[in-house]
Amino acid sequence: MLTGSAPIIGRARTLRREMSLPEVLLWRELRKRPAGLKFRRQHPAGPFVLDFVCLSSRVAIEIDGQMHDAASAQFRDEVRDEWLADQGFSTLRIAARDVFPNLEGVLKLVTSRCSSEQPLHHAATRRGPPPRTGEDT
């Protein structure tokens, strides 16, 4: 399970109350479990708080506002993306300015990406030793 320390969990709780308008609009749709997918908002993950995450698909969704255009923010985003990749998660970045005019398209992009990702923790559903030679799997 992807989680964070007590201070990060507290920060996530605060951020849930202070979501940006694009995040609120997307959350209204994601909480309906589109395509049968469950999403979490402002989820603590190690030293970070993810805007949204689909744990079953191992996809983090980040809504990037204008502040993400700065060079320092881009570096922090790269560090976060690398850390998430090391944890087996991919990152889907969406510009906040794209949410307003095209919420339906953004929702389709998110559900498509999450539906197509092969969850790493489900890759081997068979338990126990491999079958003997000549046995069916």
Nearest C-alpha neighbor of 43 from the set 74, 84, 102: 84
- Contact, 85 vs 77, CB < 8 A? no
Q: How far apart are CA 72 and CA 67, in angstroms?
A: 9
- Please write the tens of the pLDDT for every residue from 12-63: 999 999 999 999 999 999 999 999 999 999 999 999 999 999 999 999 999 9
For 6-116, CATH number? 3.40.960.10
Sorting pLDDT into bands at 50, 70 and 90, what band is 115? very high
- Please write the tens of the pLDDT for every residue from 70-97: 566 788 889 999 999 999 999 999 999 9
- Contact, 84 vs 72, CB < 8 A? no
Output the pLDDT for position 106. 97
Helix (H, G, I), strand (E, B) or coil at 118: coil
The answer for residues whose C-beta is within 8 angstroms of residue 22's C-beta and 6 or more apart is: 63, 65, 96, 99, 100
Strand partners, 2: none
Domain assignments of the chain as residue spans, ordered by start: 6-116
Residue with the two structure tokens 């923010």? 73
